[in-house]
Amino acid sequence: MNPTYGPEADAYRDKVQAFLAEKLPTDWAGIGTLPGDEVRDFVASWRTTLYEAGYLAPGWPVEYGGAGLSALEQVILAEEFARAGVPTGGPNDGFGIQMLGNTLLVWGSEEQKRHYIPRILSGEDTWCQGYSEPNAGSDLGGLGLRADLDGDQWVLNGQKIWTSAGHLADHIFTLARTDPDAPKHKGISFLLVDMRQPGIEVRPIKMISGESEFNEVFYTDAVTPKHEVVGGVNNGWAVAMSLLGYERGAAAATNSIRYQGELDRLFLLAKERGLTEDPRIRQRLAWCYGKVQIMRYLGMRTLTQFLAGHQPGPDAAITKLYWSEYHQAVTELSLDILGADALVPSGRKPTSAFGADDAGAPNSSASWVDTFLNTRAATIYAGSSQIQRNIVGEMVLGLPKEPKPG
């Protein structure tokens, strides 16, 4: 089965390919071919190219600085970028554009949209996500960061944790308890906070790979103006949940392209090491191939719903389970293929702790080992596997709800 999108879509695909051919070097083979220390500069300049073309937020209306693309055009754009091995934005754009920007377009006041949307796109403001706390992750509704109104500003005290790219951000969208007496989901507000103030302290957390991509964020009498609430005081739960839909649904269309590229690299590694004749390795490679194909069809299913105008719902949990658990399995296989070399990793490392290594990355042992280490977190962030299974059971299959403790 090889579905196509039709002639209009092909014409748009040609246009995107022409854009990529014009903007990228002629011998371009993916961002992974750049030395690790050149990646940051490339991404910064590539982000400017996308900004100027309106491609940073391709689905947004032109009046907000987007490209006003149809759903299908957005998917084609994402597919072609994934095939070319270029990012769709900078390191904080998942938070700023995809999560916060989309949320502001739905929930934000006119002032918030007018103020923040252009600054998010231009890169003047960079955002991170302050949801999780040491005692509130899966059970996010139990969060304890306090925000108390004092005159015309909120005063925040408490702590967030696992704040990805928080060390690169100057703003945080954060969930805070604004009514401690209300039932737990009803006393939360969604606040926009400038991190450049003495009341905010960001402490990087060292990961198993030795890198630091996420942080603790401490609030000690930090302040934000009264009007920086999105969606109304004590209505933060509804806003927070709609934002998570953008977080969890987005990757479905391009996952299989990235994972197929990574798997092709693993086939090469197995060949180089003479292991493609080993029946146990062949069996596991074939299993991985099957999983990537399933992801491809899952992506098409999501795409069909997206084109029909539906935002990702609870079945986004299936996609999340698939890619995160697959990615742990395929990187475990890579370590078995590397054998003892995996104990002394060398060569280019991945430049991000999330997902597959950069497209076009060399088959270095450090690439595979660090990706393997990074995948340990994939079944935790954006909703743990256990929570995704609860969602599938209760909201997709309609099974009885899990018993609540006590």
Is residue 138 close enough to count as binding ligand FAD by CB under 6 A?
Answer: yes
Region 204-233 residues binding ligand FAD, contact defined as CB under 6 A: 214
Using rule CB under 6 A, residue 267 touches ligand FAD:
no
Among 42, 29, 24, 130, CA closest to 90:
42
Size of the residue set binding ligand FAD (CB under 6 A): 18
Nearest to 176 by CA among 214, 226, 116: 226
Q: Which of 102, 129, 254, 331 binds ligand FAD (CB under 6 A)?
A: 129
Q: Is 127 in the site for ligand FAD (CB under 6 A)?
A: no
Site stretch for ligand FAD (CB under 6 A), options 38-46, 113-121, 124-132, 241-249: 124-132
Q: Helices marked H in 154-235 — which ranges?
A: none
The minimum distance between CB 95 and ligand FAD, in angstroms, equals 7
CB neighbour list of residue 51: distance below 8 Å, 6 or more residues apart: 121, 122, 123
Nearer to ligand FAD among residue 77 and residue 169 (C-beta): 169
Do 103 and 242 form a contact (C-beta atoms < 8 A)? Answer: yes
386 binds ligand FAD (CB under 6 A): yes
In single-letter form, the type of residue at position 315 comes to: D
Member of 39, 356, 377, 391 binding ligand FAD (CB under 6 A): 377
One residue of 281, 318, 387, 395 binding ligand FAD per CB under 6 A: 387
Residue 82 or 161 with smaller CB distance to ligand FAD: 161
Shorter beta-carbon distance to ligand FAD: residue 55 or 131: 131
**In Å, how far from its chain's centre is CA 254?**
12
**168 binding ligand FAD? (CB under 6 A):** no
φ, ψ of residue 148 to 5 degrees: the values are -115, 135
Q: Which residues contact 383 (CB under 8 A, 6 or more apart)?
A: 138, 244, 248, 317, 320, 391
Q: Which two tokens stand for residue 281?
A: 């390795």
Q: Which amino acid is at 55?
A: Y
Among 162, 219, 306, 368, binds ligand FAD (CB under 6 A): 162
The answer to whether the CB of 239 falls within 8 A of the CB of 190 is yes
Select 43 or 377, whichever has its Cβ closest to ligand FAD. 377
- Burial, 263: exposed, middle or buried (Cβ in 10 Å; 0-12, 13-18, 19+)? buried
The answer to whether 384 contacts ligand FAD (rule: CB under 6 A) is yes
Q: Is 247 a catalytic residue?
A: yes
Least Cα distance to 218 among 139, 161, 150, 149 occurs for 161
Which of 103, 164, 178, 302 binds ligand FAD (CB under 6 A)? It is 164
| Segment contacting ligand FAD by CB under 6 A, of 10-18, 71-79, 156-164, 309-317 | 156-164
Rounded Cα gap, residues 91 and 47, in angstroms = 10
User: Cα separation of 272 and 363, whole Å?
Assistant: 10
Active-site position among 79, 80, 247, 262: 247
Q: Which stretch binds ligand FAD (CB under 6 A): 177-185, 263-271, 328-336, 377-385?
A: 377-385
Q: Does 131 bind ligand FAD (CB under 6 A)?
A: yes
Contact in structure between 181 and 229 (CB atoms under 8 Å):
no
- The answer to whether residue 132 forms part of the interface with ligand FAD (CB under 6 A) is yes
| Residues 6+ away with beta carbon under 8 Å from 121 | 51, 56, 57, 65, 97, 101
CB of 390 to ligand FAD, least distance (A): 5
Q: Give the residue at shortest CB distance from ligand FAD.
A: 137
The residue among 64, 40, 39, 38 whose CA lies nearest residue 51 is 64
Binding residues among 38-97 for ligand FAD as defined by CB under 6 A: none
Q: How far is the CB of 247 from ligand FAD (least distance, A)?
A: 9
| Phi, psi values for residue 161, rounded to 5° | -145, 160
**Which residues does the annotation mark as catalytic?**
247
Residues in contact with ligand FAD by CB under 6 A are 129-132, 137-139, 162-164, 214, 377, 380-381, 384, 386-387, 390
